[in-house]
Amino acid sequence: MRVFNRRALLASAIVVGLLPSTALFAQNKPSKISIDWATYNPVSIILKEKGLLEKEFAKDGIQIQWVQTLGSNKALEFLNAGSIDFGSTAGSAALVAKINGNPIKSVYVYSQPEWTALVTKNDSIKKIEDLKGKRVAVTRGTDPHIFLVRALQSVGLTEKDITPVLLQHPDGKTALIRGDVDAWAGLDPMMAQAEVEEGAKLFYRNKAANTWGILNVREEFLKQYPDLVKRVLAVYEEARKFSLANYAEEKRAFQAVTKLSDAVADKQLKERTTITFNKIGPEQRDSILQAGIALQKAGVIKEDVDVKKALDDLIVDQYVATN
């Protein structure tokens, strides 16, 4: 009888020992993946429209939740709150957010854009110095904001020399067209529309000061589901390569959600967006680093911050292979 009890006890122990592994397996498969789409990230629009992530994760029973973000600031806000798992931002915006404590990792390049410039309808504004004392619409925590700070810095000015009017990107464009502000740190596609259809002028451009379009993931999600992150990026690659090979389809999908004209769509997608990169390599790192150093000189990032160390802590580049 004692032998039977010992065997039963042993069998029970084996069964109980299996339970944690089963529970762990369940925990390693989330019920859903939340990811953003944005008009400043055309690849995300193709990804969403074609249902590529839904197809990839259907066999796992994982749902895909889509959330539109209107700018880097919103994507970073949602990432920080855990409302999304993946978010589209500018590289410089991600760096500043990381320094300020946002637990994210940058894992993928979705574009090399010239998506921002300084825009006006005021004929008296022809150069950066003309902004002194003027009202300028800007969205804090975004590449256009960082672009504005760096532009002012280049001529010895700071934000204290202008009157920043804090608006989300679409509202900034509206304020410019109505004459409520003198200038706007613009963002495509609203900037392209203002230029093509509403008489706005891009009076200061600097493609090199536009930092890369970067996809970020929550640190906790990456730590918990590294294989899922790799799969998401593989599907992103599928959408990027499809967009490269099928411009007409990319443009059609973009216009379906933006309702913008052919001329405006071509201005953003053909002239000002390159999607031939995917990996965060030396060129991307240096672009983001230079933005960080400039922001430190401008006082946006504190003097005691090691910007390069923060950048190294931000970027994780092993989840995608170079083209």
pLDDT tens, position by position, for the chain (323 residues)?
444 454 444 444 444 444 444 444 445 799 999 999 999 999 999 999 999 999 999 999 999 999 999 999 999 999 999 999 999 999 999 999 999 999 999 999 999 999 999 999 999 999 999 999 999 999 999 999 999 999 999 999 999 999 999 999 999 999 999 999 999 999 999 999 999 999 999 999 999 999 999 999 999 999 999 999 999 999 999 999 999 999 999 999 999 999 999 999 999 999 999 999 999 999 999 999 999 999 999 899 999 999 999 999 999 999 987 76
Cα separation of 59 and 49, whole Å?
19
Cα separation of 112 and 115, whole Å?
9
Q: Quote the pTM value.
A: 0.88
What pLDDT is stored for residue 27 in this prediction?
58
Pairing of strands 213-218, 104-113: antiparallel
Q: In the structure encoding, which two tokens stand for residue 179, read together?
A: 């004459």
- CATH 3.40.190.10 maps onto the chain at 32-112+211-314, 118-209
To 5 degrees, how large is the angle CA 72–CA 36–CA 233? 105
Inter-axis angle of helices 42-49 and 247-258, nearest 10: 90
The CATH homologous superfamily to which domain 32-112+211-314 belongs is Periplasmic binding protein-like II (3.40.190.10)
To 5 degrees, how large is the angle CA 38–CA 39–CA 43? 75
Q: Write b or e for each residue in 107-131: b if 16 or more Cβ atoms lie within 10 A of its Cβ, otherwise e.
A: bbbbbbbbbbbbbbbbeebeebebb
What pLDDT is stored for residue 320 in this prediction?
86
173 contacts: CB under 8 Å, gap ≥ 6: 137, 184, 186, 190, 191, 193, 194
What pLDDT is stored for residue 263 in this prediction?
98
Give phi and psi for 210, each to the nearest 5. Answer: -85, 120
What pLDDT is stored for residue 43 in this prediction?
98
Tell me which CATH code domain 118-209 carries.
3.40.190.10
**Quick check: helix, strand or coil at residue 14?**
helix
What pLDDT is stored for residue 212 in this prediction?
96
